[in-house]
Structures are given as C-alpha cells and as structure tokens.
C-alpha cells in the first residue's frame, strides 16, 4: 500500500489551496506582463515620472497593466498550450489529477509552471509590440533595439524552459503511483519510463 504525504497542504484549508492556481495566474500571467508592457510604453514614450509618487496614480497604472495583461494572455496561453499538447505528457496529467495519491499542492506546482510560461510569453508579446511600434515611429536608438531583442530572446527561452519544467513536474506526479503512470504511458510512444518511475514512492506502509 502506498500513501502520499503532502506536507505543504497540511493544516491549510482546501479552499485556499484550490484558489492558488487562480491567484498565481492573475499575478504571473496578467498583472506582471501587463504592467511591464505599460511600463515599456511609458519608457519609450519618454514619460516623465512625477517627483512625488501618489497612491491613486499607482493604482490606476496597476489596474491598467492588469487590463493589458488580460489582452495579452489569450494569445500567449494558446501558444503555450499548443507546445504542451505537442511535446508534453497531458495524458499522464489527466491520470494524476484523478489520482487520490496526488495532493492539491503538488498539482498546483504544475499550474504554477504553466502560469509562469504564459507570463514569459505574454511579456515577450508586449515587448515585441512596443518595439515594433516605437521602431516604426523612429523613437528607438541602436542601444534600445539591441536591448529589446536581447530581452525578447531571453523571454522566449524562459517560456520554453517553464513549459519543459511543467512537463517534468507532471512526470514527478506519476512517481506517486508508478503502476498508473506505467500503465498510461504504454499508449504514449514519446515517454520512456525510467527506473525511478517504477520504484520511487512517497511513503510505504
């Protein structure tokens, strides 16, 4: 008999644990990319920061960034999901989500990696849009163009890395129930089971 001990979620209300993916997604995939996109727009526009920062303008800027993040997120998430379906182990993830041995906080790690990938790609789209627009207006010098495309390359790489990290976390979930993982991956020619898949468990009784 194999049991999973989810020490992260012990003593934490189930409702709070269940809400974490939505909180992460709002923070990583919407607020951060939207705020960065707005900040870049103001920077390239030569916006002068007031000497005294007041709470109301900051709130307006953050709210505006959140709205911009909502506009960027659908395109970025669609691209991330294409990569996840094409190169990931989504069948194993479906099995793990219905496995009683897998705790909610462990599933949340997968959701967090997904949100991070969307965040990186959304930020890349916002940077690309700003760069193209201000390049067209003639507002960018050579240094700014070089920096913009260097950061763009990093964000695209980071989105790829986070997508790969999500896939690794999915395979880690299968280690809680090796039989379920191995039974499911027989139909997935892209997965090669390792010895850890068959032997690693969380707690044996």
State what percent of residues in the chain have pLDDT above 90.
Answer: 44
By the 10 Å C-beta count (0-12 exposed, 13-18 middle, 19+ buried), 93 is classed as buried
Per-residue confidence band for 158, with pLDDT thresholds at 50, 70 and 90: very high
- pLDDT tens for residues 61-109? 899 999 999 999 999 999 999 999 988 888 888 888 888 777 777 888 8
The CA–CA distances, whole Å, from 51 to 48, 60, 172 equal 9, 17, 50
The Cα 35–Cα 38 span in angstroms is 5
- Tell me the β-bridge partners of 203: 3
The model's pTM is 0.73
Q: Where are the domains of the chain?
A: 11-204
Contact 126, 34 (CB under 8 A): yes
- Would you say 127 and 40 are in contact if contact means Cβ atoms under 8 Å apart? yes
Question: What is the mean pLDDT of the segment spanning 109-138?
Answer: 94
Least trusted range by pLDDT, from 36-45, 78-87, 106-115, 178-187: 178-187
2 three-class SS: strand
What pLDDT sits at residue 172? 83
Return the pLDDT at 102: 78
- DSSP code of residue 204: E
Q: How confident is the model at residue 200, as a pLDDT?
A: 40
């Amino acid at each position: 008999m194999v049991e999973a001990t989810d020490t992260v979620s012990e003593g934490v209300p189930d409702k709070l644990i269940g809400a974490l993916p939505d909180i992460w997604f709002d923070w990583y995939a919407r607020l951060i990319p939207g705020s960065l996109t707005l900040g870049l727009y103001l920077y390239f526009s030569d916006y002068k920061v007031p000497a005294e920062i007041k709470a109301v303008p900051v709130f307006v800027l953050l709210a505006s960034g959140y709205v911009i993040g909502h506009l960027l997120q659908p395109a970025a998430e669609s691209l991330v999901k294409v990569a996840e379906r094409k190169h990931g182990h989504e069948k194993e993830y479906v099995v793990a989500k219905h496995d009683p041995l897998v705790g909610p906080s462990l599933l949340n790690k997968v959701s967090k990696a997904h949100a991070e990938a969307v965040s990186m790609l959304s930020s890349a789209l916002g940077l690309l849009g700003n760069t193209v627009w201000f390049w067209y207006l003639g507002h960018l010098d050579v240094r700014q163009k070089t920096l913009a495309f260097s950061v763009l390359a990093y964000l695209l790489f980071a989105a790829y890395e986070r997508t790969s990290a999500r896939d690794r976390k999915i395979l880690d979930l299968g280690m809680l129930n090796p039989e379920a993982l191995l039974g499911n991956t027989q139909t997935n020619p892209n997965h090669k089971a390792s010895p850890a898949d068959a032997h690693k468990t969380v707690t044996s009784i």
